[in-house]
Amino acid sequence: MNKFSKLFALAALTLAFAGIARSEDSVAGKWKTQFDSQIGQQKYTFEFKVDGTNLTGRAVSVRDTGTNDVEITEGKIVQDQISFIEPLKIQDNDVRVEYTGKIAGDEIKLHRKVGDFAEYDIVATRVKEGDAPAAATPDTNAPPAKP
């Protein structure tokens, strides 16, 4: 290998690792979405954790029929491409919800495939620290509430 080839290979490797690091930085954390579906409006919070190209975390959904909190499986992230599975149990049936998408800044454009039942295109947006209201904590110096 000549000197130019070695430098080119080193540059390519550096860019590949930079892409992995960028992906981790750009996806780790909380993301929210809401959309209408066959079963009514659904509100989701995804909490992603990234280790190299492996994506893990939780999917918490709130809908008219209740709340689900499941562990994400089979998660992958390669540069700006993301994919993962949300395993659901619906009326005693295991349903595989497949997500594929593309990360673009503070948005992830996702295609959501619910078993053989339905498909949706949704957009998840990053939850920034200032977006979520702080948890209420009692003020011990406050006067008692009047009846």
In the chain, the domains with their CATH numbers are 3-126 (2.40.128.120)
**Residue 80 phi, psi (nearest 5):** -105, 10
> CA nearest 76: which of 105, 52, 46?
52
Contact 29, 47 (CB under 8 A): yes
Question: Distance between CA 95 and CA 118 in Å, rounded?
Answer: 11
Burial class (CB in 10 A: 0-12, 13-18, 19+), 124: buried
Of the candidate ranges 3-12, 92-101, 126-135, the one whose mean pLDDT is the lowest: 3-12
Express each pLDDT in 67-86 by its tens digit: 899 999 999 999 999 999 99
Helix intervals (H) in the chain: 3-27
